[in-house]
Amino acid sequence: MPKKSKVKKKSKLKDKKAKKNFLEKKSSQSPNIRQGQQNDVVEIKKVRKQENEKRIYKVKDYVIYPKHGIGQIISIDKLNIANIEVSVYKIEITKDRLNLTIPTNQQQHLRSLSSSNQVNKALGILKGKAKIKRTMWSRRAAEYEQKINSGDIYLIAEVVRDLNKNTDMPIDQSYSERQLFEKAYDRLLGEVSIVLKLSEDEGKAKLNKSLGKKTEENSSLNEKKTPF
């Protein structure tokens, strides 16, 4: 019986030593915690500044924000958000009478204007034959909306082409069709006019010609040619 009690005492001593060694090892691995216990000082780390991407746009540059179309950068400012200095673009969307604030490190949400070659290719899409899927209108409308909000000039041109009725009579289009057509048409018109340096009327004439629509100028010329 006394032998058993000696074994128990030895095992308890071993457990205490193991626990002590574990605590000493843990405190040596974290000197900051040990120092805090000795000096009762809490160390506060400074918050890093937000990393910014290299700015690629300048003030007065025109950019495309997919959900709203064409806009112009009116300033590049710095804002203090939660004690972090953030550089932002201030963008004016004239058509929607809207001002946007986009952090410069999120400029992937913007795109530059298309080149003149890309604009001419988009105008070429307008001259093509409409491609209308035989699906429910609600599904097609969702696809058209998605194309418009993509900001892709070619996809927007496809919507204009597919919803073009070659007439100015609103009775030939449903209200939702007309709304989507006008939205896509205005987006395309804004970019075409600025890239090709045209007035709004000249831009409309360019688009209507590609769509095969009769412009006022063409109709007046035809009236002059018709004999009385």
Look at residue 95 in the predicted model and tell me its pLDDT: 81
Look at residue 9 in the predicted model and tell me its pLDDT: 56
Span of 32-36, 101-105, 165-169 with lowest mean pLDDT: 32-36
Q: Residue 165 CB: number of other CB atoms within 10 A?
A: 16
pLDDT band at residue 225 under the 50/70/90 scheme? very low
Looking at residues 128-133, what average pLDDT do you find? Answer: 87
Q: Is the pLDDT of residue 219 over 80?
A: no
Query: What are the DSSP calls for 79-103, one per residue?
Result: EEETTEEEEEEEEEETTTTEEEEEE
Look at residue 10 in the predicted model and tell me its pLDDT: 55
Q: What residues are paired with 69 via a beta bridge?
A: 65
- State the span(s) of the chain assigned CATH 2.40.10.170: 62-112
Candidates 18, 45, 43, 19; CA nearest to 31 is 43
pTM of the entire predicted model:
0.68
Second CATH level (architecture) for the domain 62-112:
Beta Barrel (2.40)
CATH number for the segment(s) 116-215: 1.20.58.1290
The residues, ordered by sequence, that sit 6+ positions from 34 with a Cβ below 8 Å of its Cβ are 27, 28
Looking at residues 190-198, what average pLDDT do you find? Answer: 96
Look at residue 135 in the predicted model and tell me its pLDDT: 86
Q: Is the pLDDT of residue 227 over 50?
A: no
pLDDT tens-digit profile of 58-80? 999 999 999 899 999 999 999 88
What is d(CA 44, CA 125) in angstroms, rounded to the nearest whole number? 60
Look at residue 173 in the predicted model and tell me its pLDDT: 72
Query: If 0-12 CB within 10 Å is exposed, 13-18 middle and 19+ buried, where does residue 133 land?
Result: exposed
Q: Is the pLDDT of residue 33 over 60?
A: no
Look at residue 213 in the predicted model and tell me its pLDDT: 79
Most confident region among 46-55, 129-138, 215-224 by mean pLDDT: 129-138
Look at residue 115 in the predicted model and tell me its pLDDT: 95
Looking at residues 54-60, what average pLDDT do you find? Answer: 83
Distance of CA 42 to the CA centre of its chain: 42
Whole-number average pLDDT of the chain: 79
pLDDT tens-digit profile of 164-174? 986 555 556 78
pLDDT tens-digit profile of 14-30? 566 666 665 555 555 55
User: Rounded to a whole number, what is the distance in angstroms from the first to the last CA of the chain?
Assistant: 136
Task: Provide the token pair at 33.
Answer: 């915690």
Q: Is the pLDDT of residue 149 over 70?
A: yes
**Residue pair 94/72 in contact by the 8 Å Cβ criterion:** yes
Sign of CA dihedral 69, 62, 152, 204: positive
Look at residue 202 in the predicted model and tell me its pLDDT: 96
